Structure 1
């Protein structure tokens, strides 16, 4: 028996209504749980406990090896805003706050450099309103970082910021502001932040090729281009070949034309299903802990211990034979004379 089309339409409408009701219910529950968690964390006791646990974990991890250069592909800001029925701007603002929080943690861990994929050249194809929003937000964050880097009370004091990418695509006003911020923070030696804006890895390699060829044509004595010279001319200078850990959020398993040269050799690439604004201290901590663990094993194996040395290393220190100290009078007598010309 064929069901009348009117009833089919009603069934479809009812199914959609139930799906929307379920989505709204789940959204309300998530918001409620989030507000309860936020209220708990706002209590002084829990806030104090969380901060101290974080300090202990950071000190434990800083004992072992930590990556010198950590890079982030900050993906998921738009989906974060959409899932909370917020404007896209709020999603990007939340992403900026996450980056600032993780910068503090990385600096305390002893990481020397952090790079972040803030804006791809391909992003210029997005709606003009969103591009303008990103540009304005980027300007605000630039000024904020410069203030923090020069405030001795701030954890980011002594940091340096570099904006890398094809700046010819930016407005003259934006380029002037970037140059000003880089000049203000250029003496920061403790920590370096590279903001890739606007950037693609192919553009980075193309820029390096053009720069290398130009130098060779101007300097006739330098006709050979080797890997070391080529790498040094890339946007990130010293850190162009030293990315140990690359983290991408939001569930996508691809690099999106980012740091193809920098991660080709010894980098560890970690993917997280978490949206970038939700990417927490614990998630990054576990990734760096995993990197540190395997790095320790690799360095241990590279030392090529003999079987005796491995067994000896496993013996408790209390059972090891103590080395006897040597008295000054036990050393042999010095020679009567020494020739510095090599003659007898």
Structure 2
């Protein structure tokens, strides 16, 4: 039986259907993220070549995406290649880049399927670190699917969270230097919009395989209120039952996580109001009466949001133009 046939038999089995119905009676995560750890260890365990472990890892990703689609998880983010992975041996890095070439090529060959199902593929990371031919494939994949909005696959490639946040700060600093932003425009909300994940909501569920219980510099900002599930299997061994287990864990903790997240967002809003209030009291000499403060805060928010929108539009256009230059 081929892998596709095996996936189809699982997806169409009565027991699969029953499990899906039971899970869907509760909250299904809209966005799931995966740290696909354990490919090299699996290869060593099975006495395969190291590269074969990575190949099997990519095959497991395709299978997992199929499960997520059937369950109604509309957005998936995967940690495919870390910035730190460039420090591995030259042979392994070249092997991973060759595998990326093959997989992005396969995605391009499935254009009809991707467009039919409205799948948007985003490749998140520092594109400048990629070999030119890989970047050209990335650009074609991203550009091809950028108007789709039915389902989303985010591939974190040449990515690390600390690198991402550093780049976001640099972007805002450049915005100030170019006169697009004022120092008072720098907020947590703006920094969030300057991350590689600007178009995505935070993951509801983050799964890491291989038994490791750390995030390894993956979505550190975005996963503050995600349900974390650490699965004690190597990534190529990850099964649909591991996925079901993680979703059940998410459902069990859904209420407490949702309440904590709502409290956090309220506190973030209140903190920003306090910052704005102190800023006006110290810098606005036109305040004649205390009751004018709320009006001034509203005006400050309006002008700040306008500059932020224009800055983000400028940033988006710049990034889009950069990728399009590699398509042509």
* TM-score (normalizing by structure 1): 0.68
Given candidates 224, 235, 259, the residue that maps to 2:196 is: 235
Aligned residue for 1:70, secondary structure, equals strand
Please say if 1:201 is aligned against 2:149.
no
Aligned residue for 1:238, secondary structure, equals coil
Q: How many pairs are equivalent?
A: 259
Which residue of structure 2 aligns with residue 103 of structure 1? 65
| Offset of residue 126 of structure 1 | 1.1
Given candidates 125, 130, 145, the residue that maps to 1:165 is: 125
Does the aligned pair in 2 maintain the 1:270–1:287 contact within 8 Å? yes
Given candidates 212, 216, 226, the residue that maps to 2:187 is: 226
Please say if 1:249 is aligned against 2:209.
yes
Aligned residue for 1:119, secondary structure, equals strand
Give distance in 2, aligned partners of 1:105 and 1:48: 9
Given candidates 240, 253, 258, the residue that maps to 1:294 is: 253
Gaps of 5+ in 1: 1-37, 303-344
Given candidates 224, 241, 265, the residue that maps to 1:282 is: 241
| Offset of residue 296 of structure 1 | 5.1
Does the aligned pair in 2 maintain the 1:98–1:277 contact within 8 Å? yes
1:102-122 CA-partner distances (Å, limit 9, x unpaired): 111112222221111111111
Does the aligned pair in 2 maintain the 1:158–1:189 contact within 8 Å? yes
Give distance in 2, aligned partners of 1:152 and 1:88: 30
Larger Rg: 1
Runs of 4+ that moved beyond 6 A: 297-302
Label 1:170 to 1:221 Cα distance change in 2 as closer, same or farther (>3 A): closer
Does the aligned pair in 2 maintain the 1:149–1:160 contact within 8 Å? no
1:304-340 CA-partner distances (Å, limit 9, x unpaired): xxxxxxxxxxxxxxxxxxxxxxxxxxxxxxxxxxxxx
Give distance in 1, aligned partners of 2:256 and 2:174: 44
Label 1:220 to 1:137 Cα distance change in 2 as closer, same or farther (>3 A): closer
* TM-score (normalizing by structure 2): 0.72
Which residue of structure 1 aligns with residue 14 of structure 2? 52
Which residue of structure 2 aligns with residue 119 of structure 1? 81
What is the RMSD computed on CA atoms of the aligned residues?
2.9
Please say if 1:79 is aligned against 2:41.
yes
Does the aligned pair in 1 maintain the 2:60–2:235 contact within 8 Å? yes
Which residue of structure 1 aligns with residue 175 of structure 2? 215
Gaps of 5+ in 2: 262-328
1:60-111 CA-partner distances (Å, limit 9, x unpaired): 3233221122111111001111111111121111111111111111122222
Give distance in 1, aligned partners of 2:128 and 2:14: 46
Which residue of structure 1 aligns with residue 105 of structure 2? 143
Which residue of structure 2 aligns with residue 263 of structure 1? 223
